[in-house]
Structure 1
């Protein structure tokens, strides 16, 4: 099987980068549909509007309705047709960006991804996670190519709530461990082949960056300022984790996340917060050395990521509900089957209980 690395055509990160959006958009198409949530519009719409007006570029701005689901994708594709759109731009968080990628795919135009937060590794990937209207995981939409441009204004990211950056660290935390499991199992990655050495190096660098700069970055954004540590964590959460997961592989951590979406008690959590607990479940499932588990627990505690069921609001969830989570994590086609050994619901259920105890004891 071939080795494949998949990445966006161009990655741009820096203070004030959003003011250059029209320049990069015009290189791809002469009329843009800009999809963003209402909160993001309040923060960034004046910068975007100025960028397009100064470039004499046509655009139509549309408000994202909150869920990356088939209904919302269809609504926005219809707007593309009515407006004669030539390029789609997603501005916001993970679900907005996944929606923009899906809309561009079905309408067959280029896409520019503009994260306003660094809370997931979704921006760089050729993947959209599709949910139901109610917010439950439905499927992965595998896209034929990565975004043409990913542009991230680090000054805007630094102004977002610290919890969002920390959630991105939780998502990025899984990257190295899932890639490692994929290499051991020899299963193909999201990119369609075996991991390259470059992808594995990025995944490992992602983990090392979290340990080195994660706490400093959290403390920095709590004070609404920008430092090299924040820049490094934005890159780790967005680019290193994005390329690392797609070309290194997913495994148990994200499958457990998908199972946790069944629990209404966990619906208040961000994606990366559930993935962080899923990472601890994966390490327990594979019987990782206690020293490694403790290092991950130390990191999670330092930045405020969940380490036990109580932390995710599930302390009083019944054993039957936890078994349902385990069964969902082991569904046919789930990424948990990329682990280098056979996994069933009983094993995942046991790993959830043990990971919970390790987190509580720590």
Structure 2
């Protein structure tokens, strides 16, 4: 199998340390940036504010912009218009994945305006990757876009992320382990000799092994408010290692079936309150059924239980779906733009539908009595 291989490995600079935000003003100065658009959410700003420098004292003009809630084409265009009308030199995005993805999309589409990202949660690899996941204004996922330019700077302040909601951290762990399962067959089956693909596979391996070995303790450390090595390692795996898989591997390391199931689930309004990684966690199990890896499902079962990850449609508030409604999700998973077409097993609607039904039987058999 020959797929595209263009490595877009990492942000130009990445700093993860206590006090990272203190570097922001000097980073802007060294980039000759004098006027920034600061895009953020309300909750994220409240968490981060006490660690942020006063940029105005450094002679930097700030246009403060509150994020509208979805990384949609309308929101991206709104930011682009502000960048152009306000004569902005750079965009700073502070918040979760949708804020960061909006900043990246708007920065590129406004003419490759430099983007600086300050993630306030470790719920995905948005701070690392050079792509944006796009949604309709109503929350329905419509795909993703990849950009040829990387983020200029990522600043990770561990104290802010440690103080973020634990359920987002858990969702990030689920999204991270998907990197291994989704890239596994693609990277196994290629005959292409490339050091980039070797690095992609090693990064994917860490996306599984580090969470399996350290995530439970890291989550407890987070509950206790303790900035430990276990927590830091899992936090950075969510942000960095997961981004390196596609960063090195390109189409060989892209999302496939698990994320296609996530995208399909978003056609149901009942799932819109669920975090991205939670729906991906369910998608991992569907993918493993498709690949007939029942032993691997049994290996993951204690981990899923410990983290409270979904094993069935009922765990996604979809327990009352009819067979036709389940098939509708399978149909959506096979739409022409779906990521599932990257999967080497050439899935069909029946493949996905049957896997979802089989997963319901498996989860029932493995229910805690």
Measure how far apart 1:22 and its partner are.
2.3
Measure how far apart 1:129 and its partner are.
1.0
- Which residue in the other structure is 2:7 paired with? 5
- Which residue in the other structure is 1:72 paired with? 75
Deviations 1:102-130 (A, max 9, x none): 11011121111111000112221111111
Measure how far apart 1:194 and its partner are.
9.8
Instruction: Give 3-state SS (helix, strand or coil) of 1:352's partner.
Output: helix
Q: Measure, in 2, the Cα distance between the counterparts of 1:26 and 1:349.
A: 54
Deviations 1:217-237 (A, max 9, x none): 111111222111110111111
- Which residue in the other structure is 1:199 paired with? 200
- Which residue in the other structure is 1:308 paired with? 312
Q: Measure, in 2, the Cα distance between the counterparts of 1:281 and 1:135.
A: 22
Task: Report the aligned-residue RMSD.
Answer: 2.0
- Which residue in the other structure is 1:216 paired with? 217
Residue in structure 1 matching 2:274, options 260, 263, 269: 269
Deviations 1:190-230 (A, max 9, x none): xxx99621111011011100011110111111122211111
- Which residue in the other structure is 1:62 paired with? 65
Measure how far apart 1:267 and its partner are.
1.1
Instruction: Give 3-state SS (helix, strand or coil) of 1:65's partner.
Output: coil
**Larger deviation, residues 211-220 vs 140-149:** 140-149
Contact kept? 1:330, 1:345, Cα under 8 Å = yes
1:158-307 alignment, distance < 5 Å: 158-184=162-188, 186=190, 196-246=197-247, 247=249, 248-288=253-293, 290-307=294-311
Contact kept? 1:36, 1:92, Cα under 8 Å = yes
Measure how far apart 1:27 and its partner are.
3.1
Q: How many residues align?
A: 356
Per the normalisation by structure 2, the TM-score is: 0.91
- Which residue in the other structure is 2:139 paired with? 135
**Larger deviation, residues 16-25 vs 82-91:** 16-25
Deviations 1:22-75 (A, max 9, x none): 22233332221110001112222343343x245332222211010111111111
Per the normalisation by structure 1, the TM-score is: 0.93
Contact kept? 1:33, 1:88, Cα under 8 Å = yes
1:82-161 alignment, distance < 5 Å: 82-108=85-111, 109-161=113-165
- Structure 1: any 5+ residue segments left out of the alignment? none
Q: Measure, in 2, the Cα distance between the counterparts of 1:217 and 1:269.
A: 22
Contact kept? 2:47, 2:163, Cα under 8 Å = no
